[in-house]
Chains A and B, each alone.
Chain A
């Protein structure tokens, strides 16, 4: 069963969830340079600020981390204040950020690499190319307890790394995704938005395709599981689809 909620004129690119106040969704609207905070039922929304092309954001311990594709900065929203994340390196169009405990991962789109902070130091993973461990415009990533998953958009695949930055395996080529704009790694499954094909690819944790969902999707950009529900953003549809 799918429910589609129209988001007015919002063009959603990234979504995050925090448990504060009974549950809040955070949605980045790239076209309109805004980030919105929604109540869990999507009935109330507030603009939390203007940002330069905000993309795949993340939330951790009450802080919302917002990559600005336009300014090459990571902004942090915390209790109505906005600051910048200090990074000892330059970014060129950060498309995504993932936070896991003290760890930070950033998809550095035009540099074709991942910047990863392990809690002590930053390392750079990958370079431009098509081989294993190389990237062609990474758009999204997620850090888990032991791995880093990357939507390697224009190599049309997902790549998986360990936390030393070593390439482990890849999947998604068989499905000819075009392009993998968003990724969400759940406990049992991995969800990848396939932008041009208007579909969501569902894999098991080994990268074997389990399901293809295309109902209600119109240029999807990101996915997220909260509780028993799957949330998928429709960039062109200007909506969010909730699969129950």
Chain B
């Protein structure tokens, strides 16, 4: 009996210690658009190795979910995480951080512009160079980030981007400029070479 009580106390101690260890880590879940090419997806993981102390990284290629744990005392911010995803060439859709102290942080997804009274809605298709699912996410995000753009959908095969936008709020030229700044050429706006060169491997569309 005496030994049983000692054993239980010891086990409780171990459990408490394990809980304490677990509670020192923040848990990050990032929904990433465009996972598909393993070479680039594993590159995302490699990019996060720059965060010293990162643990339990996992990528679910089917769902696009990238998860990891990081020491809570380092106070890794939402912004830093999303910037790192972007630096690896990916487009973060949403990010959730479960802090060790129980606080949960969620990122806000980009909401498409609402159609207001007086809006003049135009629908146009433009050519945008790109290769893959990662390109699609980046191109659509670049267009939707502009006020006045209510819809943007890029077709990987035809390379055409279908747009709905309020011509009172934004012009097609502005949309093309924003897309070029994300690294993708259109007929009238070219991405700068250094931006193009920094795209992930599978997004490097043929410019010749």
Q: Which residues of A contact B (CB under 8 A)?
A: 11, 13, 30-31, 53, 69-70, 93, 95, 109-110, 136-137, 139, 153-154, 156, 176, 178-179, 181, 195-196, 219, 221, 235-236
A93 to chain B, nearest CB (A): 7
Q: Which residues of B contact A11 (CB under 8 A)?
A: 38, 61
Question: Are B39 and A95 interface neighbours, CB within 8 A?
Answer: yes
Report the bound CA distance from A210 to B185 in whole Å: 33
A-B residue pairs in contact (CB < 8 Å), sample of 16: A11-B61, A53-B42, A69-B42, A69-B46, A70-B42, A109-B39, A110-B43, A137-B39, A153-B201, A154-B202, A181-B39, A195-B37, A196-B132, A196-B202, A235-B38, A236-B36
Q: Which residues of B contact A109 (CB under 8 A)?
A: 39, 201
Q: Identify B46's interface contact among A93, A137, A181, A196, CB under 8 A.
A: A93
Report the bound CA distance from A136 to B46 in whole Å: 18
**Which A-B residue pairs are the 9 nearest by beta carbons?**
A137-B201, A154-B204, A53-B42, A154-B201, A30-B38, A69-B42, A31-B61, A178-B131, A156-B206
Q: Kindly state whether residue B147 has any CB partner on chain A within 8 Å.
A: no
Question: Are A196 and B39 interface neighbours, CB within 8 A?
Answer: no
Q: Kindly state whether residue B140 has any CB partner on chain A within 8 Å.
A: no
Report the bound CA distance from A30 to B45 in whole Å: 12
B181 to chain A, nearest CB (A): 21
Q: Identify B45's interface contact among A70, A153, A176, A196, CB under 8 A.
A: A70
Residue of A nearest to B38 (CB): A30
Question: Are A153 and B131 interface neighbours, CB within 8 A?
Answer: no
Question: Are B42 and A136 interface neighbours, CB within 8 A?
Answer: no
Q: Kindly state whether residue B59 has any CB partner on chain A within 8 Å.
A: yes
Report the bound CA distance from A176 to B61 in whole Å: 26
B88 to chain A, nearest CB (A): 12
Residue of A nearest to B199 (CB): A154
Report the bound CA distance from A80 to B46 in whole Å: 28
Main secondary structure of the interface of A (DSSP, over half): loop
Residue of B nearest to A112 (CB): B201
A175 to chain B, nearest CB (A): 12
Q: Which residues of B contact A176 (CB under 8 A)?
A: 206
Given contacts A70-B45, A93-B46, A156-B206, contact A31 B38 (CB under 8 A): yes
Residue of B nearest to A92 (CB): B46
Question: Are B37 and A136 interface neighbours, CB within 8 A?
Answer: no
Q: Which residues of A contact B38 (CB under 8 A)?
A: 11, 13, 30-31, 221, 235
Report the bound CA distance from A101 to B37 in whole Å: 32
Report the bound CA distance from A11 to B59 in whole Å: 13
Q: Which residues of B contact A195 (CB under 8 A)?
A: 37
Question: Are B61 and A153 interface neighbours, CB within 8 A?
Answer: no
Question: Are B206 and A153 interface neighbours, CB within 8 A?
Answer: no
Q: Identify B201's interface contact among A136, A235, A236, CB under 8 A.
A: A136
Residue of B nearest to A93 (CB): B46
Q: Which residues of A contact B206 (CB under 8 A)?
A: 156, 176
Q: Which residues of B contact A156 (CB under 8 A)?
A: 206
Report the bound CA distance from A53 to B44 in whole Å: 12
Report the bound CA distance from A196 to B206 in whole Å: 14
Residue of B nearest to A53 (CB): B42
Report the bound CA distance from A176 to B43 in whole Å: 24
Question: Are A70 and B202 interface neighbours, CB within 8 A?
Answer: no
Q: Which residues of B contact A178 (CB under 8 A)?
A: 131
Report the bound CA distance from A69 to B201 in whole Å: 15
Report the bound CA distance from A224 to B201 in whole Å: 25
Report the bound CA distance from A181 to B61 in whole Å: 18
Q: Which residues of A contact B36 (CB under 8 A)?
A: 219, 236
Report the bound CA distance from A139 to B39 in whole Å: 8
1/0 contact trace for B27-56 toward A, CB 8 Å? Answer: 000000000111100110110000000000
Question: Are A70 and B201 interface neighbours, CB within 8 A?
Answer: no
B183 to chain A, nearest CB (A): 14
